[in-house]
A and B are shown apart, each in its own frame.
Chain A
Amino acid sequence: MKRKIPVLITFVVGSVLILSVFFPPIETWGEDFSIFFDIIAVFAFFLGGGNLLRIHTKKAIKRQKDWGFSIVTVLGFIIMLIAGLFKVWNDGGIAGDVAAPGSLFQMMYNWIFTPLGATMYALLAFFVASASYRAFRAKNVGATILLVASFIILLGRTPLGTYVTGWIPKSLSIFNIPDLAIWIMTAPNLAGQRAIMIGIALGVVSMSLRLILGVERTYLGVDNE
C-alpha cells in the first residue's frame, strides 16, 4: 500500500498531463502544475533551510574544523531572512515590494550578491584557459577534430585569422579562416546539434515512460520490494 499509491499517483498524473496537450479543456493543466510545484518547493525549503541551520550550528557548537565560518554562514542566513521577511528599512513598510530600493534586503543583494556572483562567474575565464592548455590534446581522431574545430573558430575571432588567409582569392573564400569559421558554425555544427537534440528528445520520452509506467522507481526507494 505504502508503495503502490505513489506509483499510482505518478502514473495518473503523468499520463493525464501527456494527454492534456491534445484536449483543449485541460490543456493548461501543465501550467497549473508549475504553480503547485512552486508551493511545494516552499515547504521543501523548510527541510533544506533547516538542514543548513542544523549542520552549521552543530559544527559551531562542537567546535569542529572551520567552525568560525559556520557562524558567518548562519548569521548571513538569519540577517537575510529578517531583512526580507520583515522588510527592514523598506519605505513601503510590510506591504512594500520586498526588493524596494533602499531596503536592507535590496542593499544586501547589491553589495553582497552581485559582486560575489559575478566574480564566481568570471572565474570561468581562467578555467577556460586551463582547460584549453591541458585538455585539448590530439589524442585520437575525435579529439583532433574537436581541437581543430575550436582552433579555427578561435582564430576566426582574432584579426590574425584575416591576416593569415586574407590573400586567398574570392572564388576560394571558403578557405578564408573567418568564412571557414562561419561555415563550421552553420554546417557541421548544425548537424551535430540536431543529432544531439533529437537524441535528447527520444531519451526523455523513453525515460518519462519508464517513470510513468513505474518501471523506474528507484527514487521512491522501492528497489527491494
Chain B
Amino acid sequence: MKDYHRPQLLFQIFILPLVVILSLTSALTAQEQPVIPADSIIHIPAPTSNVVAVDYVYDRGETVELTWNLSPDDTIGGRIDGYELTRIEQSTGKMDTLEVIPAGISYYKDDKLTHGHKYAYLIRSVYFGAKSSPVSSNIITPSIEIINWRLANLFAIAFILCGSVIYFIAHAKKGKKLFIRKIAGLEAIDEAIGRATEMGRPILFVPGINDMDDVQTIAGITLLSRVAKVVADYDIRINMPVSRSLVMTTARETIKEAYIGAGRPDAYNDDMVRYITDEQFGYVAAVDGIMVRDKPATCFYLGAFFAESLILAETGNSIGAIQIAGTAQPAQLPFFVAACDYTLIGEELFAASAYLSNEPKQLGSLKGQDVGKFVAMIAIVIGVLIATLAELTGSSSLENLSEFMNRLFTIVS
C-alpha cells in the first residue's frame, strides 16, 4: 500500500521543491493555465499519422468515420492531452473545430455532414495549449446508401413473422375455422355488461391516458367497438371520459357506428364520450369523481395506463363495480391483476379484439402470432443449448454458431 505516514517529511522533500519550481515557471510563462508542468513549456507534442476518413455505410450520407495512429507521445503518462479535430468543407473552405478527443483514443464519428459535399479533416496533437502541426486526412464524400444491409437480420426475422401472420390471415379467408383458446377476461365481458343491464346502471369505459399514437389506445378502441355493440343492443348507458381529443373523436365514431349497426342511431348521443383534460392526474381526479357519483356497474380499463391504474381500480372496487382491465405497461399489470376482476395481460390486450370479432381473418392473425412465438421459443431453446454446449466443450465451431445466434438477434444501429 502506498502510504504517507509522515506527511511533514514528505512535504519537505517533495512538495517544497516542486512548489518552488512551479512558481518559477509560472512567473516565467504567465499564461492563463493555472499550473503547467515544468517540462511542458516548450514541449510540442508529436503529431499523429495515418489519418483516414471513411464513409460510414448504410446511412443518409451524414456520417464519416475517422481513425488515426496515436501520437508517439501518447503513451502512459505521456505528454499529450488529446487530439484537436478540425473539419474543412472543401467547396467553401469553411473550417469547423469539432472537439478535443482525449489521448488514448484514435476514433471519431462525425455525423453532422451533408451528403455529396467533400470534406477533409485536420488533426493536431495538443498538450497544455501547445499544438503540433496539423495532419490532414484524405478527402471524403459521404454518400447515401439506399438499403441498410446492417439490418438484414431484422428484416429476415420480421419477414418470417409478418409472413406467418399474413399467411394465416390469407389462409383464413378460405373459410377454415381456427381453434382459439378461451381468454377469461373476454368471456366475462358479456356477463359484466349483462350485470349493468340488470342493475340499470351505466358502464364506464376508460381507454387509458395516451393518445391515438399509442397502439395500446388503438387496441382499447377496437375493444370499445365490441363493447359498444352489446351496449347498443341492450340499451345501457355508456360513459366514456377521455383525456385526449383525438381519442374522443375516434371513440364517438366507433360508438355511433355500433348504434347504427344495432338499428338505433337515434339512441346515440355525442355526450356519451366526453373530453376531460390532457393532464394525467386531473383526468384521474375527474374519473374518480364520476365513479363515486354515477356508480357504474362495470368498469373497463383498456389502453395505456401509468400510475393512475391503482387509483382507478381501487375506487372502482369501492363502488362495487365489476372491473375488466388490460394494458401492455408491464409496470402497471401487477396493480390491475391485484385489484381488478379480470386482467388482459400484455399480448392478450392486442389479441382481444380479434378474439371477440370471431372473424376467420382476425383469428388467423392470432395463429400467425403464435407461429412467431413458436419461433422465439425455438430460438431461445436452441440458442441456450448451443451456447451452453459451446461453453462446456470449448468447441470452436459451436462457439461460432453461438456467436452467429447472438448476432442474429442483435441490432446494430
Contacts and interface: CB of A to CB of B under 8 A. Distances in A.
Q: Do chains A and B touch in the complex (CB under 8 A)?
A: yes
A215 B146 contact: no
Given A131-B335, A206-B351, A207-B215, A23 B346 contact: no
Interface residues of B, number: 86
Given A24-B59, A41-B245, A131-B338, A223 B376 contact: no
Contact of B373 (A46, A198, A221): A198
Nearest to B275: A48
A31 to B, nearest CB: 12
B366 A127 contact: no
A132 B258 CA distance: 39
Interface in B26-61: 58-61
B218 A193 contact: no
SS class, residues of chain B in contact with chain A: helix
Contacts of A46: 245
Contact of A130 (B254, B314, B376): B314
Contacts of A196: 330, 333, 345-347
Contact of B310 (A124, A209, A215): A124
B131 interface: no
A209 B166 contact: yes
B339 interface: yes
A28 B144 CA distance: 13
A2 B117 CA distance: 47
A203 B351 contact: yes
B261 A223 contact: yes
Interface stretch (A49-57, A87-95, A174-182): A49-57
A124 B165 contact: no
A24 B148 contact: yes
A135 interface: yes
B236 interface: no
A47 B221 CA distance: 18
B147 interface: yes
Interface in A20-70: 21-25, 27-28, 34, 37, 40-41, 44-49, 51-52, 55
A224 B359 CA distance: 14
Contact of B346 (A135, A199, A205, A210): A199
Contacts of A205: 158, 161-162, 165, 369, 372
Interface string A182-211: 000000000001001111101111111111
SS class, residues of chain A in contact with chain B: helix
B220 to A, nearest CB: 10
Nearest to A197: B330
A49 B243 CA distance: 11
Contacts of B165: 205-206, 209
Nearest to B351: A203
A141 interface: no
Contacts of A37: 211, 213
B143 to A, nearest CB: 10
B166 to A, nearest CB: 7
A113 to B, nearest CB: 8
Interface in A138-191: 146
B244 interface: yes
B275 to A, nearest CB: 4
A98 B274 CA distance: 28
A124 B311 contact: yes
Interface string B209-242: 0010101001101100110000000000000000
**What is the interface residue range for chain A against chain B?**
35 or more
B310 to A, nearest CB: 5
Contacts of A123: 311
A15 to B, nearest CB: 10
Nearest to B256: A221
A199 B314 contact: no
Interface string B310-350: 11011101000000000010100101011100000111111
Interface string B146-168: 11100100110010011001100
Nearest to B318: A130
A209 B337 contact: no
Contacts of A223: 225, 257-258, 261
A199 B151 contact: no
A24 B146 contact: yes
Nearest to B59: A24
Given A120-B284, A127-B310, A219-B250, A207 B275 contact: no
B246 interface: yes
B147 A23 contact: yes
B87 interface: no
Nearest to A224: B261
B402 interface: no
Contacts of A128: 310
Contact of B349 (A24, A52, A203): A203
A134 interface: yes
Contacts of B307: 121, 124
15 contacts: A22-B151, A23-B148, A24-B61, A24-B145, A25-B146, A46-B245, A47-B249, A132-B338, A200-B347, A202-B372, A202-B373, A203-B348, A206-B351, A223-B257, A224-B260
Closest 8 CB pairs of A and B: A48-B245, A221-B257, A203-B350, A199-B347, A218-B225, A203-B347, A48-B275, A120-B281
Given A117-B282, A209-B368, 9 more contacts: A24-B147, A47-B249, A48-B275, A116-B281, A124-B310, A131-B313, A202-B161, A213-B166, A219-B253
